[in-house]
Structure 1
Amino acid sequence: MCTRVMWPDAAGAVLVGRNMDYHRDTGTNLWSLPRGIERNDGVGGSLAWTAEYGSVVAGAFDMMSADGMNEVGLAGHILWLAESDYGTHDKARPGLSMAIWLQYFLDNFRTVAEAAAWIAESEVQVVPLGDPATGEVPAVHLALDDANGDSAIIEYLDGKATVWHDRDYRVMTNSPTYDKQIELLKEVDGFGGTKPLPGTTLAADRFARAAYYVGRLPEPKTKVEAVAGMFSVIRNAAQPFRIPDPDKPYASQTIWQTVADLTNKRYVFDSTTRPNVVWVDLDKLDFGVGAPAGKLDLMGDTALEGGLAGNVTGRFEETAPMQFLTLPS
């Protein structure tokens, strides 16, 4: 479920795209979150901070940052990883609720290198929280990327963070773990192996296709061409709608997609159930301390004509900041 692809040399710009694949609607709206908001770890620990950078995020159920980028070009993307093992919650370690995990990095860091160094130094633990509606406890990993073209994949295995930090780690999907995905890719023609480029929706096959096609994109002449090129790759890795299978109740379909231009600070959102692509220019938003948070109501945008479309930077409605899901006290 989900694919993330990075294109670090799009005629001088760094772009990253992702598919959100899930077995039900995530109630996603876009949020504009300014600097100066005070937050805590959501797990009753000692970690608290004030947001140093403003950000635009795609929320899940209006209580978790699932995807987004900040005003200085750091972006992050939550994807599913069944093998995730966060360990038993150790209150002696710094911790972050899964719901606010991504937001911590968007609030506090300019680059992937800074974020990776903090993870190693702090030994921060991620604490999973059950979905209040279903009780389902997600198992996820996190990709970070920045306007310098740097990349990191963070996976929790045996209770500890493994950080795959390298500019060459451009693609991320799901199971198996990242080290095994890299080895599987070497079996494919064009990456050292002899197997033909695979075509199924399995995570390893989507990984191979995304890696293959992002490496063959033509140089774009405009920002629009760059976004279109990235969409062409992530749509190739998308999962189609399907009839429910009782043997696979959590089989996923692509419900939305994003493309973030980390250089030009543009965040593009495309729903597979609504007709129009929308985008936000972060440079035109007020992220100043004391500025209001904003919400773009995508869930209410059901009109086929006259609804949200194109540049929606000025369409955010003032609201209280997103309230992240926390560990019950």
Structure 2
Amino acid sequence: MCTRVLWQADGQPVLVGRNMDWKQTLHTNLWVLPRGAQRSGAAEADPNPLRWTARYGSVAALAYDQASTDGINEAGLGAQLLWLAESDFGPREPHRPGLSAALWAQYLLDTCATVAEAVAATEGYQVLGQNDPHAGTFSTVHLVLDDAGGDSAVIEILAGRPVIHHGPQYTVVTNSPPFEEQLEHQRQFAGLGGDRPLPGGTAPEDRFVRAAYYLARLPRPETPAEGYASLLSVLRNAAQPAGTPDPERPNVSMTRWRTLADLTNRIYAFESSFRPDIVWTTLDAVDFDHCARLDLTQPGLVGDVTTLYRPAAEPDFQLA
């Protein structure tokens, strides 16, 4: 599920984009999640749920209106939740505050302004895996972070403990195998350190190599708009066509939607695979004192939709 690409050309904004690949519709809508919100990271039956107050407002894409899968906050921090079959959250350790995977990205968007802050917070909670009742799948995910300074981090939970790759050089992320193996694998290909021809398949390791190869060859854009188009060209090259090529692996599924965030200027764009038009939200014009929702199924959405969000109750995050 998914491909994430981070890019900053010389003198241009920091841009990050992701494809969301999944085996079924996610009924995704966009949400304004306000500063000041009180949140709990686990079900009330949990012995030690993580609790916090949001310091930053954010705009996020929620699956089923229950799980933050992608978003950016008003400080310019971005978070993307991707599938990783090898994730192993380990047994519950009650002395560690519990944080549902459905709120993992949101917790960091709520409380951190930079990747460095988010990485430093990692030991302060235990990520709790959970079943996705909509897909009938246990959610094994990893988290990718990026910020307006161009920093990046990939956080995997393997054998119950976080494994972190932190640094601006980590620009491309897909799914299996774990990230260290992906880095080693890409070195076998022409233009990336080896001599094997560029792969064209749908597997996560193939998408990783293609995205890294084409990202490294993007020309410097003259304008931010040209930069947006250039990064979208890489994301579309790594996208999955309609259909389900491998029903047993949800990370090898069609691309449902993609996002592109300008972390410097705090603009968050969304493109559905089922609609012809891109929409975007300008965070500097958002009222982050109140919760709001944009129904992406309504007809006629195109361009800047910042004023089209409607007041909404806080989402019912899936915590168990």
Counterpart in the other structure of 2:38? 38
CA contact (8 A) 1:292 1:320 kept: no
Counterpart in the other structure of 1:292? 290
Counterpart in the other structure of 1:75? 78
> Whole-Å Cα distance in 2 between the matches of residues 68 and 7 of structure 1?
16
CA contact (8 A) 1:270 1:277 kept: yes
Q: How does 1:1-329 map onto structure 2 within 5 Å?
A: 1-9=1-9, 11-43=11-43, 44=46, 45-120=48-123, 122=124, 124-242=125-243, 251-287=252-288, 291-298=289-296, 300-301=297-298, 303=299, 307-327=300-320
Tell me the SS of whatever aligns to 1:99: helix
In the alignment, structure 2 segments of 5+ residues that lack a partner are none
CA displacement 1:179-203 (0-9 Å, x = unmatched): 1001001111112111111111111
CA contact (8 A) 2:35 2:57 kept: yes
Deviates more, 1:254-263 or 1:199-208: 199-208
CA RMSD of superposed structures (Å): 1.5
Deviation of 1:15 after TM superposition, in Å, equals 0.2
Tell me the SS of whatever aligns to 1:83: coil
> Whole-Å Cα distance in 2 between the matches of residues 61 and 243 of structure 1?
20
CA contact (8 A) 2:244 2:254 kept: no
Letter in 1 for 2:295: D
Deviation of 1:243 after TM superposition, in Å, equals 5.9
CA contact (8 A) 1:11 1:219 kept: no
Q: TM-score, normalised by structure 1?
A: 0.93
Tell me the SS of whatever aligns to 2:155: strand
Deviation of 1:11 after TM superposition, in Å, equals 3.2
CA contact (8 A) 2:7 2:231 kept: yes
Letter in 2 for 1:169: Y
> Whole-Å Cα distance in 2 between the matches of residues 65 and 243 of structure 1?
24
CA contact (8 A) 2:8 2:14 kept: yes
> Whole-Å Cα distance in 2 between the matches of residues 296 and 245 of structure 1?
32
> Whole-Å Cα distance in 2 between the matches of residues 229 and 21 of structure 1?
20
Tell me the SS of whatever aligns to 2:130: coil
> Whole-Å Cα distance in 2 between the matches of residues 126 and 271 of structure 1?
29
> Whole-Å Cα distance in 2 between the matches of residues 226 and 219 of structure 1?
8
Letter in 1 for 2:224: K
> Whole-Å Cα distance in 2 between the matches of residues 9 and 119 of structure 1?
29
CA contact (8 A) 1:21 1:253 kept: yes
Deviates more, 1:233-242 or 1:44-53: 44-53
Relative to 1, partners in 2 of residues 1:10 and 1:297: Cα closer, same or farther, differing over 3 Å? farther
> Whole-Å Cα distance in 1 between the matches of residues 186 and 247 of structure 2?
31
Letter in 1 for 2:182: Q
In the alignment, structure 1 segments of 5+ residues that lack a partner are none
> Whole-Å Cα distance in 2 between the matches of residues 21 and 164 of structure 1?
23
CA contact (8 A) 1:2 1:21 kept: yes
Deviation of 1:245 after TM superposition, in Å, equals 6.1
How many pairs are equivalent?
A: 317
Deviation of 1:246 after TM superposition, in Å, equals 6.2
CA displacement 1:55-92 (0-9 Å, x = unmatched): 00000000000000000100000111000000011111
CA contact (8 A) 2:151 2:167 kept: yes
> Whole-Å Cα distance in 2 between the matches of residues 135 and 273 of structure 1?
24
Letter in 2 for 1:270: E
Relative to 1, partners in 2 of residues 1:257 and 1:10: Cα closer, same or farther, differing over 3 Å? farther
> Whole-Å Cα distance in 2 between the matches of residues 323 and 176 of structure 1?
32
Percent identity between the aligned chains? 50
Deviation of 1:132 after TM superposition, in Å, equals 2.6
CA contact (8 A) 1:10 1:226 kept: no
Deviation of 1:134 after TM superposition, in Å, equals 4.2
